[in-house]
Amino acid sequence: QKEVEQNSGPLSVPEGAIASLNCTYSDRVSQSFFWYRQYSGKSPELIMSIYSNGDKEDGRFTAQLNKASQYVSLLIRDSQPSDSATYLCAVINAGNNRKLIWGLGTSLAVNP
Amino acid sequence: DTGVSQDPRHKITKRGQNVTFRCDPISEHNRLYWYRQTLGQGPEFLTYFQNEAQLEKSRLLSDRFSAERPKGSFSTLEIQRTEQGDSAMYLCASSLSPENSPLHFGNGTRLTVT
């Protein structure tokens, strides 16, 4: 089992819809969770960080963390074509020298 | 612009040559990281510094790779005797000291070894 797992996609949604991206992790004592957006050929850009159970909202983005079920999700409301990118989930794994562990990313396509 | 800066943006080199990349972190960040990324993969950890101290280096990293951060500010990553398998995007990131602080990435250096 990979430490951080994401569906590779592509996830395709129409413009204006809600895009839902999911990430599961294996280390139960993980503490910190991040979502990054990466456009093709560019570097990762931090979208959201979340540290405690529940929802965290920032503009059109909402991160949801459920430590009991070991998943973290990212919702993008009113999806725009400019949201088309790969979304990377990253987790600080307390059992691995507190190193940041990355998923392989989910490709999102927002269709006009 | 006070973000992470990397130089050069692109580097094409012939196999066997040495290359050096530079990273200037966000000024108040004392942690600096180097990652490598190839197509379809997440970033692969190479090494990181807290101030001038190199605290960890990936076991996957061969002896051809070396990184320095001499004054705790900018960092350099050198690859000696480059191989075609070294072709990748090399990413630098910085963060504040708490271990749960998010990383902020530079634009990366794309290396092509011919």
At residue B1, does pLDDT exceed 60? Answer: no
Query: Beta-carbon neighbour count of residue A96 at 10 Å?
Result: 13
Q: Which residues of B touch A51 (CB under 8 A)?
A: 100
At residue A95, the pLDDT reads 58
CB contacts of B56 in chain A (<8 Å) are: 97, 99
Find the CB nearest B45 among A49, A88, A99. A99
pLDDT at A28: 84
Residues of chain A neighbouring B42 (CB-CB closer than 8 A): 88, 90, 102-105
pLDDT-based confidence at A27, cuts 50/70/90?
confident
Rounded average pLDDT over A3-25: 94
The mean pLDDT of chain A is: 92
Average pLDDT over residues A61-88: 97
- At B69-111, the pLDDT tens digits run 998 899 999 999 999 999 999 999 999 887 788 999 999 999 9
- Tell whether B25 lies on the interface with A, counting CB pairs under 8 A: no
The whole-angstrom distance between residue B53's C-alpha and the CA centroid of its chain comes to: 15
Q: Does B98 touch chain A (CB under 8 A)?
A: no
Task: Give the Cα separation of B61 and B73 in Å (integer).
Answer: 23
Q: In the prediction, which pLDDT does A29 show?
A: 84
How many H helices and E strands in chain A?
0, 11
Concatenated DSSP letters of B56-106:
EE-TT--TTEEEE-TTSS-EEEEE-S--GGG-EEEEEEEE-SSTTPPPEE-
Q: Which residue in the set B40, B43, B45 is minimally distant from A44, CB to CB? A: B43
